[in-house]
Chains A and B, each alone.
Chain A
Amino acid sequence: MVSTVTNTDVKQKDVDQAVVVAVTFAAVFEPETEDGSSIYRLGVALPLVQVLQRVNERLLEKNPAEHQLFDVILITTESWQQQQNSSIINSTRHHGLEVGRFCFSTEEDYIESLMQNNVQLFLTTDGNEALQATQQGVPSALLDTNWVSCPSEQLRVLFCEKAIFQLNMGSTEASKKSAQNFLAHLGQMKQKFGVFDSPLCFTLVTSHGGKDNCCCALKSLRSLGVSVDEAYCLGGAPRGPILSLLRPHFLLSDGFSLLEG
């Protein structure tokens, strides 16, 4: 049974215009509480949540009446987490995280919850969760614990041909459409800033194809309104060293296979 609770500490975002990003409990918090209390310790996704907040702040600086902001919701994906609802709410408030609402769901119904809340991007540290959500049409990205925890003033999004988890599935029409929608939002947010000193940084990395392949991807993204800042065409060279320099917050690919030429 899914329940959604509003976080009254945080100003609610506009239902129509906000870009809803759901992050799992397991990404935001450690599974254990701090000694002697019911407050959960912060996990790997803290810098990500903070940088989403930072983007919102910069957008509001440009236009105090801005509605196209990130609306972060925290979602539980396991029963035991669902049962810890009060502790989770308290912990979020305690740490002052800008989480607009909570979705308390289990492994059975979290995807339904994502859809009900009009989630445009689902972020998780669990490969299976990301896979299942994508298959049901919710654009998802797997957070890599190596890089997601780097503090940053800039949200770094990486577009690539394949994400960390090995996916061998075709994307549905529905997921393609949602992916395009999300990208359009990202592109619009970025356009509000100049080339220099933007809180959003988009990077394209192509591993397998040649330069023309990469060039096509650049242009495809551009046609969706996404202006890429950095591009790396690897032509078969190992990705690891490059990715460790780029330190993206998340990678977008499989739901976004519209990039493949």
Chain B
Amino acid sequence: MSEIKPEDKTATDKNEEEQDWEAAKAFFESLKTKAPRPPKPQNAVTIAVSSRTLFNMVAERKIFVDEGVEKYVAFQVEHESDPLKPGPAFPFVKALMNVNTRLRNLYPDSEELFDIVLMTNNHAQVGVRLINSINHYGLTIERFCMTGGKSPIGYLKAYMTNLYLSKSADKVTEAIEEGIAAATMFMSRQESDLSDTQLRVAFDGDAVLFSDESEIIVKKHGLDTFFEHEKKFENKPLAQGPLKCFLEALGKLQRKFYAKNERLNCPIRTFLVTARSAASSGARVLKTLRSWGLEIDEALFLAGAPKGPLLQKIRPHIFFDDQMFHIEGANELGTISAHVPYGIGQKYNKGKLIEEPKKEE
């Protein structure tokens, strides 16, 4: 399901892989708890979450920053049996698990499911507390990588990751540069009442689902030029953005529900929340989605109005946007948001060009 193609394998590699796979299958089938077996990475929609997005580790992070890595690891080991509190990606993960349950009911033998992987920079000793916490909440996360400080990018590719969520902007930027959909998560400031029967995902349009080509025009030439341009090129599809493939993966799973007559009761719902206006620049967006063969359940054109209040009504488990200005607005009104550090929007803050500090020679 991922855009990342696995490297060419030899016959021995494939043989070994099959053996590993059969052994894992046997293991899970023998478990008394009947925990569901994780799917093969190439069949699943793999979502990698970092430890700080899955759990609230603000206090622990402070120890790391103020007192250093040794004290931090020691603290975590000491508190190994104390479960951590939920973090920003927690509701999203629970919603994914719910979709999996529904999918397993309808397609008991299919591996087209969500596979949640814990991808953390943490030291393996800290991992024990993480695993204990995962067990405490009954989360179905069977795969993890604790890289002990090394970059997770190689491992993201090895797992054919479809989406990577982290609190570290650097890692997320690196992932996007490598072609992996990724976003930096932010905790919302208020508690919000989220659905526990339906996964709701909201996307911004430009520089998230689509490339930033149009946004460049707005920033450099202003809105009027932008409207003219969009009308003129209405029938030319926009180029794809970093999260297009993730929307595509969601669409594939949605169609599995439609095939079983579950359209009205589908546990996945997608939203487009864009500052574009329907009349002047909306058509191009809808036509682009159509040309890609993608559906989006609800398209909301705000014509520049703030996104916060609308998102508050939608109550998505996650909202992706490329501009911090919108992320902050959403956060303030209780929406869990994720920043996609892509495109020209990164050089601007609230419409003004951020002055780059002069680089030293």
- Please give, as numbers and ranges, the residues of chain B lying within 8 Å of A194 by CB-CB distance: 69-70
Partner of A218, one of B35, B127, B141: B127
Tell whether B136 is near chain A: CB-to-CB under 8 Å. Answer: no
A233-B142 contact given A210-B27, A215-B128, A215-B131, CB 8 Å threshold: yes
**Residue of B with least CB distance to A240:** B13
B150 touches A230 (CB 8 A): yes
| A208 within 8 A of partner (CB) | yes
Residues of B within 8 A of A203 (CB): 148
Query: For B158, what are the chain A residues with a Cβ–Cβ distance below 8 Å?
Result: 237, 241-242, 245
8 Å CB contact of B144 from A208, A211, A239: A211
A177 to B146, CA, bound (A): 29
Cβ-based interface call for A196 (8 A)? yes
The residue in A196, A210, A219, A236 that gathers the most chain B C-beta atoms within 10 A of its C-beta is A236
* Cβ contact within 8 Å between B40 and A219: no
Report the minimum CB–CB distance from A197 to chain B (whole Å): 10
Residues of chain B within 8 A of A232, CB atoms compared: 144-146, 155
* Contact status A218-B157, CB under 8 Å: no
Cβ of A209 under 8 Å from chain B:
yes
Contact A228 B131 (CB under 8 A): no
Name the CB-closest residue of B to A166.
Answer: B19
Q: Does B131 contact A239, Cβ atoms closer than 8 Å? A: no
The reply to whether B9 and A227 contact each other, CB–CB distance below 8 Å, is no
Distance from B84 Cβ to chain A, minimum over Cβ atoms (Å): 15
Distance in angstroms from A28 CB to nearest chain B CB is 26
Report if A114 contacts B (CB, 8 A): no
At the interface, yes or no: B102 with Cβ under 8 Å from chain A? no
Q: 1/0 per residue B145-163: CB within 8 Å of A?
A: 1111110001101110000
* In contact, B128 and A229 (Cβ under 8 angstroms): no
Residue A238 at the B interface, CB < 8 A?
A: yes
* Residue from the list B21, B125, B131, B146 in contact with A227, Cβ < 8 A: B125
Closest chain A CB from B80 CB (angstroms): 10
- With beta carbons under 8 angstroms apart, the residue of A204, A222, A240 that contacts B16 is A240
Query: A231–B146 contact, CB under 8 A?
Result: yes
For the complex formed, measure the closest distance between the CB of A16 and the CB atoms of chain B, giving whole angstroms. 30
Main DSSP-derived SS at the B contact region: helix
Q: Is the CB of B159 within 8 A of A229?
A: no
Q: How far is the CA of A230 from the CA of B20 in the complex (A)?
A: 20
**Contacts A236-B38, A240-B16, A242-B155 given; does A229 touch B23 at CB 8 Å:** no
Q: What's the nearest-Cβ distance from chain B to residue A231, in Å?
A: 4
| A231 with B144, Cβ < 8 A, contacts A212-B131, A240-B9, A241-B158 known | yes
User: Which of A204, A228, A236 makes the CB contact (< 8 A) with B24?
Assistant: A236
Chain B residues lying within 8 Å of A230, measured Cβ to Cβ, are 123-124, 146-148, 150
Q: What separation, in Å, do the CA atoms of A212 and B130 have in the docked complex?
A: 11
Tally chain B residues at the interface, Cβ within 8 Å: 47
A231 and B128 alpha carbons, distance in the complex (Å): 10
A195 interface residue, CB < 8 Å from B? yes
Determine if A149 is an interface residue (Cβ-Cβ < 8 Å): no
Complexed CA–CA distance, A231 and B120 (Å): 10
Alpha-carbon gap, A155 to B35, bound state (A)? 36
Q: Which residues of B contact A231 (CB under 8 A)?
A: 124, 127, 144-146
Interface flag for A33 (CB, 8 Å):
no
List residues of A (21-68) whose CB comes within 8 Å of B's CBs.
none
Give the complex CA separation of A241 and B146 in angstroms: 15
**Which one, A213, A237, A240, contacts B159 given CB within 8 A?**
A237
| Complex contacts, B132 vs chain A, CB 8 Å | 215
Instruction: Check if B41 is an interface residue, CB within 8 A of chain A.
Output: yes
**B150 CB contacts on chain A under 8 angstroms:** 230
Q: Which residues of B contact A207 (CB under 8 A)?
A: 20, 23-24
| Interchain CB contact under 8 A, B69 and A236 | no
Q: Which residue of B lies closest to A204 (CB)?
A: B124
Chain A residues near B155 (CB-CB < 8 A): 232, 242, 245
Q: Is the CB of B73 within 8 A of A195?
A: yes
Any chain A CB within 8 A of the CB of B287? no
Chain A CB within 8 A of B232 CB: no
CB distance from B54 to the nearest CB of A (A): 13
Is B233 in contact with chain A by the CB < 8 A criterion? no
> Which of A201, A229, A234: most chain B Cβ within 10 A?
A234
CB of B25 within 8 A of chain A?
Answer: yes
Partner of A210, one of B20, B125, B127, B142: B142
Closest to B68 in A: A196
Whether B40 pairs with A211 at a CB distance below 8 angstroms is: no
The docked-state distance in angstroms from the alpha carbon of A131 to that of B26 is 26
Residues of the A chain whose Cβ atoms lie less than 8 Å from the Cβ of B157: 241
> What residues on B are CB-neighbors of A213 within 8 Å?
27
Q: Hey, which chain A residues are within 8 Å of B123, CB to CB?
A: 195, 229-230
A151 proximal to B (CB < 8 A): no
Does A211 lie within 8 Å of B125, measured CB to CB?
no
* B193 sits at the interface (CB 8 A): no
User: Of the candidates A195, A210, A228, A237, which one forms a contact with B41 in the assembled complex, judged by CB atoms under 8 Å apart?
Assistant: A237
- Using CB atoms and an 8 Å cutoff, list the residues of chain A in contact with chain B: 194-196, 201, 203-204, 207-215, 218-219, 222, 227-242, 245
**B residues in contact (CB < 8 Å) with A:** 6-7, 9, 13, 16-17, 20-21, 23-28, 31, 35, 37-38, 40-41, 69-70, 73, 123-125, 127-128, 131-132, 134-135, 141-150, 154-155, 157-159
Given contacts A204-B124, A219-B128, 14 further A-B contacts (CB under 8 A): A203-B148, A208-B20, A208-B23, A208-B24, A208-B27, A210-B27, A211-B134, A211-B141, A215-B127, A229-B123, A229-B124, A229-B148, A231-B124, A238-B41
- Sample (8) of A-B pairs whose CB atoms are under 8 Å apart: A195-B123, A208-B24, A211-B141, A218-B125, A222-B125, A232-B144, A234-B20, A242-B155
